[in-house]
């Protein structure tokens, strides 16, 4: 009987050790995630799910067994071993045009960053409650207070700035219109963004052509549109170079996009 209990105790201790080792917690960096889906297809427990609130994937800790398969499957290294870090991120846009505001200044407590040209900002913070301030030339500054971040949290906060009196145009009004695609090259679809110096027509249309000049897809164009890599028949386009084109009155914007499979 004593030997039986000794064996049982040994099994329990060994199982506890193995379980403790395997229960490493992973998180997804929402800024690095491009929604390629590699982690979803690699996870044996279906523990990775889409989170519409933050716009990327997240790991359901109740299903994750800590195997680490997803860690090696991510091509952008956006999955990491959780260490208590939290992410605060988002985009700054113009309240009148809904276009992004490049190079705005975002400050969280004593930390300050400058947005990229697409208006994106990103902070890595510890657990706590924060106050955020945002400013840009030609716009009224805004403040968001009582932003609560838990450990290993991801919080998206999109910021809307209102033009100052006499500055109703986009913050980049003196710059040329731009058409951008990301990621590029693309494996599972791409985001296409347009920033216009002056919007001439209300019905913008995105057209995608192959290098032979054949139109493969047309989409209504807002400030941002996602192309899933399908043609007008719903079939996947082959790998290659494509041209994204948007006509704004007499102005035509074009951008090369590489599709890889």
- Give CA–CA dist 27/49, Å, rounded: 12
Residue 107 has pLDDT above 90, yes or no: yes
CA distance 206 to 246: 5
Residues 6+ apart with CB under 8 A from 188: 34, 35, 36, 37, 228, 229
- Asked whether the predicted pLDDT for residue 143 surpasses 90, the reply is yes
What average pLDDT does the segment 234-259 reach? Answer: 85
Interatomic CA distance for residues 117 and 195, integer angstroms: 10
Task: Kindly list the structural domains of the chain, giving each domain's residue range(s) and its CATH number in brackets, ordered by start.
Answer: 2-81 (3.30.70.20), 86-161 (2.60.40.1120), 178-259 (2.60.40.4070)
Determine the pLDDT at residue 3.
58
Range ranked top by mean pLDDT from 60-64, 117-121, 122-126, 177-181:
122-126
Residue 2 pLDDT more than 60?
no
Number of helices (H), then strands (E), belonging to the chain: the values are 3, 19
pLDDT at residue number 252: 81
Residue 160 near residue 187 (C-beta atoms within 8 A): no
Q: 251 or 122, which is more confident?
A: 122
């Amino acid at each position: 009987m004593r030997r039986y209990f000794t064996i049982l105790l040994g099994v329990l201790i060994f199982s506890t050790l193995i379980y403790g080792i395997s229960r490493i917690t992973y998180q997804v960096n929402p800024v690095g995630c491009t929604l390629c889906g590699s982690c979803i297809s690699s996870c044996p427990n279906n523990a990775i799910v889409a989170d519409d609130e933050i716009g990327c994937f997240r790991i359901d800790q109740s299903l994750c067994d800590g195997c680490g398969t997803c860690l090696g499957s991510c091509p952008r290294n956006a999955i990491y071993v959780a260490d208590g870090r939290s992410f605060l991120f988002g985009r700054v846009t113009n309240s009148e045009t809904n276009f992004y505001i490049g190079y705005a200044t975002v400050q969280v407590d004593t930390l300050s960053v400058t947005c990229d040209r697409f208006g994106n900002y990103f902070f890595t913070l510890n657990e706590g409650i924060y106050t955020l301030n945002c400013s840009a030339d030609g716009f009224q500054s805004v403040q968001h207070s009582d932003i609560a971040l838990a450990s290993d949290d991801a919080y998206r906060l999109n910021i809307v700035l209102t033009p100052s009196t006499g500055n109703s145009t986009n913050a980049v009004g003196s710059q040329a219109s731009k058409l951008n695609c990301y990621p590029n090259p693309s494996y599972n679809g791409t985001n296409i963004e347009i920033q216009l110096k002056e919007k001439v027509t209300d019905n913008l249309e995105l057209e995608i052509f192959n290098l032979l000049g054949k139109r493969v897809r047309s989409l209504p164009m807002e400030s941002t549109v996602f192309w899933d890599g399908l043609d007008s028949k719903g079939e996947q386009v082959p790998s290659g170079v494509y041209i994204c084109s948007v006509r704004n009155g007499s102005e035509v914007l074009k951008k090369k996009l590489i599709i890889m499979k």
